[in-house]
Chain A
């Protein structure tokens, strides 16, 4: 302290001496220093101002750009499956539904206990241990799926607290409650639930929805982590597709085709049921078919919607069209008789034959007995240009415009290059090809006062909240013939199923059926000539005959045993028509239809009857789960809809297990998981 004081005194002394020696000048230096300190401060203020501005520039002005760059570095987004919306029939019965399943993933870099995790996942997910261990041990990957869309049983087997580095996420899966029903029509989607065929493809935009994304972060070492747990963002369920299809009619059509397949063992068979008045498609059945949950297991042709895609020579089913054209042109009188050359007519060196020899036939008889020569002679009255023109008016050689992908338009050469005999062959349905849908539409026009309708399959598209996005209405493509002409030809077609007609097997007790058989030889692709051994047999008809409601076409491709349309297609037509008319409550005669409608008959399941004894008849109280056990998936879904609950079906067969069990309190989300399996 003393030393300090001395020091101070010394300093004092020095300053005093300095001041004394140079009076005034010390103060000058001090002033200079103070001014310069001020300048320095101003300089610092300027520098800090630059810093403040730069901070503003980076954090605010360049914020968006830099955040984008940052997000690109930090964020990792793992896209989950698309929550596809439902496809339902005209009554709301779901044909394709969304279910939620768990998927298991891992972050190999975060994994602590490789062996433990491998053991757990092998045990619970029935995976192959070595492949799994290899996957988990690969530290170069930040994120890896272990198994997607695991079963509820596997989900339940997994521990709630997953080992570090392993996680699970809930994602959408696709289920088809009716299995193969309408499979070719609905199509299917892939593992990422992207629509690949059929309606799933055509309406992918409506159905797909926004896939959920697992938003994770990753550090500079590419480690993925989920700081707030696994969160799925951006999940927006897809919209609903409401079809004009009726699941019951679809079922009748497929059942009928199954019987045809068994009886006639054809290469393929297909059928379409359409509402005559509106053009709404009620059923499109295809055989053989495939399982939409495993489309890869089937050859591509099994997945085809043949009613739209397969072209065939229509044969005699074309005769009513020829007849309508000739009548409309006024080139034939109804009481006229046409000579049918006793069954064999050499025209320009080509011999046209009838199945049975006939002499003179009225136009109605030509349709009834299906005389090729008669039809040819009628067609020739029009000339090739008009025959061609009329076929086009009825919609042949043009796509019908149905809202399904891949529709074929058929093949028809322009009239100018026709051989002379082509006028005759086109008149009885040879020398050009059509699709079943084209033929059905053309015949429907005769049952719809001459109006050609545009067929359609989707009644409405709805968003996830149930609001209508688009709605389809019946659309008249053309009025092709007069109502009188249409009615006249329709009356002729009724004769076909009556005594003396070619399709007695299509007759239905209590109903009049207007229809036409068709049988054509197929062209052998090797010889380019008609192959007498290979037929396409078909039947197209309208029911009931005096007030057509349903138009049904059945096409059988290469039936065995040389079965003509009246033999193999007509019975299938009758099966479909009978079931459908009963189901819809339509009576044979007009006056019958005006009676109060009887209760709608229940769907009779012939193919896969549920074990009647096993069914539980107790009615669950409100707020209780119904008993699904023992029910088929169809019945379970119907019951669920009736009870206003959601069902998540798994497997196939009959319900063997459900969660929660029957007659328990209904969960708040009203979801019941039902496991289907082979009935015991």
Chain B
């Protein structure tokens, strides 16, 4: 089916790819720098992260080259939700689940291991977008609109929370709020949810000893420097050492076992130490532009599903950055959340590259394609139903006939 009229070359959003490329490169440098003292083999973590990135990139391009509307499928969404529930149960299965740092967040099946809560975030996003897109105006109703999605989200949150992964569940909760907000749910529902969510969060913080220690160490990081707040204190010291320009890549000292998890959740502290304020601001601005760009790509579309999944993916990326940076800089209590593309970790890489893949697909779907030598005659047509026509023209030979005829003139 060689089709001369099919738009050639690169249909992915270049600015987005460029941003991702920069952030991923920066992340690889940081993982390599932060992790070299941690293992006998100084490249152990770097090589593994490189593999994760390559797998992630492949996944990103695979998803990105799909038609985004193919994800608007009841079968797919239901299948993934069930898969997510099974995955979330895996850490509790004997011999498969792994307990690390007081939490059952990991499963290990033969050579494959992962953090199901990361994948659950992506699946939750897909479900929310699909549900809300189909609800349309119906979301303004509570029992028939908001309640069902709340139940499903509740299952996700509940499954993640018992691991316990308060960060993951908070993230899913925040995502639900953002999606409901974007979809047009009533503000009083959102207000109510905020109150319930905030109360629940606080209750868990105060009832679980593990979380309580983390919470108070966040409030008073300098009170008990060797105990509970050891990690956050060392994170702040790392950032403070950085100054304006940082101490230089590889010259950080906090990685010498002073700051636990410096290559994963606290990679930003290493970045701050080695690249300083300039590095931190560059990172935040890159992520900010990335979220902005993704949001714009999504909002270009007139299709609710495309808009919601794109904006949701953008918001999920942005939230992860904000929460992780907030934890690292002691603005939020410690949660155990990775920062996209920078923290070492396979599950996180798979989730975040998938999100970029979705955004790329959204970008392709929403691109206002300028036809080769468009004539003014086509303009009204595009204005009226741009989304549908443009996408169909790029994807199927059926519409290419009409374009072809136009082009051949």
Interface residues of A (CB under 8 A from B): 1, 4-5, 7-8, 11-12, 15, 18, 22, 25-26, 29-30, 32-34, 36-37, 39-41, 44-45, 47-48, 50-52, 54-56, 58-60, 62-63, 65-67, 69-70, 73-74, 217, 219-221
Bitwise, B43-85 to A at CB < 8 A (1) or not (0) is 0000000000000000000000001011011000000000000
Are B311 and A37 in contact, with the CB atoms below 8 A? yes
Q: How far is the CB of A403 from chain B (nearest CB, A)?
A: 48
Q: List 29 A-B contacts (CB under 8 A).
A: A1-B395, A1-B396, A4-B395, A5-B396, A7-B70, A8-B395, A11-B72, A29-B184, A30-B302, A36-B184, A37-B307, A39-B181, A40-B178, A52-B280, A55-B272, A55-B277, A56-B281, A59-B239, A59-B280, A60-B243, A62-B240, A63-B243, A65-B240, A66-B237, A70-B237, A73-B237, A73-B258, A74-B253, A220-B258
Assuming A30-B302, A63-B243, A217-B253, is B67 touching A4 (CB within 8 A)?
yes
Give the complex CA separation of A5 and B242 in angstroms: 54
B398 beta carbon closer than 8 Å to chain A: yes
Please provide the 7 A-B residue pairs with the shortest distance between their CB atoms, ordered closest to farther: A66-B240, A219-B256, A220-B257, A55-B280, A59-B277, A58-B239, A220-B258
Measured between C-beta atoms, what is the minimum distance from B183 to chain A in Å?
Answer: 7
A5 engages B398 (CB within 8 Å): yes
Alpha-carbon distance A70/B241, docked complex (angstroms): 7
Contact of B92 with A by CB under 8 A: no
Closest to B242 in A: A59
CB distance from A332 to the nearest CB of B (A): 84
Name which residue of chain B comes closest to A6, CB basis: B396
Q: In the bound complex, do residue A45 and residue B288 qualify as a contact, i.e. CB atoms below 8 Å apart?
A: yes
Contact B284 A55 (CB under 8 A): yes
| Cβ contacts under 8 Å, B315 to chain A | 40, 44
Q: Are B240 and A69 touching (Cβ within 8 A)? A: yes
| Shortest distance between the CB of A269 and any CB in chain B (Å) | 62
Binds A, one of B16-24, B161-169, B199-207, B322-330: B322-330
B239: which A residues are within 8 A, CB to CB?
A: 55, 58-59, 66
Q: Decide if B298 is an interface residue (CB 8 Å cutoff).
A: yes
Return chain A residues, CB-CB under 8 Å to B307.
30, 33, 37
Of the residues A37, A47, A52, contact of B299 by C-beta under 8 Å: A37
Q: B164 to nearest A CB, angstroms?
A: 25
Q: Is B318 located at the chain interface by the 8 A CB criterion?
A: yes
Query: CA–CA, A58 to B181, complex, Å?
Result: 33
- Whether B261 is near chain A, meaning CB under 8 Å from some CB there, is no
Q: Residue on B with the closest CB to A31?
A: B184
Tell me, yes or no, whether B136 is within 8 Å of chain A by CB. Answer: yes
Determine whether B7 belongs to the interface, using a CB cutoff of 8 Å to chain A: no
Complexed CA–CA distance, A74 and B298 (Å): 48
Bound Cα distance A36, B190 (Å): 13
Partner of B284, one of A40, A48, A59: A48
Residues of chain B contacted by A220 (CB below 8 angstroms): 256-258
B:172-215 near A, CB below 8 Å: 178, 181-184
In the complex, per-residue mask of B272-310: 1 if CB is within 8 Å of any chain A CB, else 0: 100011001100110110011001001100111001100
Nearest-CB residue, chain A, relative to B326: A51
Measured in the bound complex, the distance between the Cα atoms of B325 and A67 in whole Å is 20
A437–B188 alpha-carbon span in the complex (Å): 100
Say whether B184 contacts A221, CB under 8 Å.
Answer: no
Residues from chain B with a CB closer than 8 A to the CB of A15 are 303, 388
Over the window 213-256 of chain B, the binary record of Cβ atoms lying under 8 Å from chain A Cβ atoms (1 yes, 0 no) is 00000000000000000000000111111111000000001101
B186 to chain A, nearest CB (A): 11
A56 and B253 in contact (CB under 8 A), knowing A30-B302, A66-B240, A70-B237?
no
B113 adjacent to chain A (CB < 8 Å)? no
Q: Quick one: closest B residue to A223, CB to CB?
A: B256
* 9 additional A-B residue pairs with CB within 8 Å, beyond A15-B303, A18-B136, A67-B241: A4-B69, A11-B72, A26-B137, A37-B295, A52-B285, A65-B240, A67-B243, A70-B238, A219-B256
Chain A residue numbers with a CB within 8 Å of B244 are: 59-60
Given contacts A50-B331, A63-B240, A220-B256, contact A8 B392 (CB under 8 A): yes
Bound CA span A55–B322, Å: 12
- Chain B residues with Cβ under 8 A from A55's Cβ? 239, 272, 277, 280-281, 284, 329
In the complex, B391 has a CB within 8 A of chain A: yes
Which listed residue (B281, B291, B311, B398) contacts A52, Cβ 8 A?
A: B281
Contact (Cβ within 8 A) B237 A54:
no
Select from chain B the residue with minimum beta-carbon distance to A41: B295
Q: B230 — nearest CB in chain A belongs to which residue?
A: A220
Instruction: Give A47 to B136 CA distance when docked, in angstroms.
Output: 29
> Residue on B with the closest CB to A75?
B253
Q: Which residue of B lies closest to A221 (CB)?
A: B257
Task: Tell whether, in the assembled complex, residue A5 and residue B326 are in contact, meaning their CB atoms are under 8 Å apart.
Answer: no
B368 within 8 A of partner (CB)? no
* A57 nearest CB neighbor, chain B only: B329
**A48–B325 CA distance with the chains assembled, in angstroms:** 9
Tell me whether A60 and B183 are in contact (CB under 8 A): no
Which one of A29, A34, A59 contacts B243 once the chains associate, using CB atoms below 8 Å? A59
A69 to chain B, nearest CB (A): 5
B residues within 8 A CB of A69? Answer: 237, 240
**Closest residue of chain A to B324, judged by CB?**
A51
* Cα–Cα distance between A25 and B304 once the two chains are bound (Å): 14
Residues of A within 8 Å of B181, CB to CB, are 36, 39-40
Q: Chain A nearest CB: distance from B378 CB in Å?
A: 18
Is there an interface contact between A219 and B257, defined as CB atoms closer than 8 Å?
yes
Q: How far is the CB of A431 from chain B (nearest CB, A)?
A: 69
Q: Which residues of chain B have C-beta atoms less than 8 A from A62's C-beta?
A: 236, 240
B158 at the interface (CB under 8 A from A): no
Q: How far is the CB of A188 from chain B (nearest CB, A)?
A: 41
In the complex, B42 has a CB within 8 A of chain A:
no
Q: What 0/1 pattern do residues 341 to 370 of B give for CB contact below 8 A with A?
A: 000000000000000000000000000000
A58 proximity list for chain B (CB < 8 A): 236, 239-240, 272, 329
In the complex the two chains form, is A52's CB within 8 Å of B284's CB? yes
Interface flag for B37 (CB, 8 Å): yes
Contacting residues, chain A, for B392 (C-beta < 8 A): 5, 8
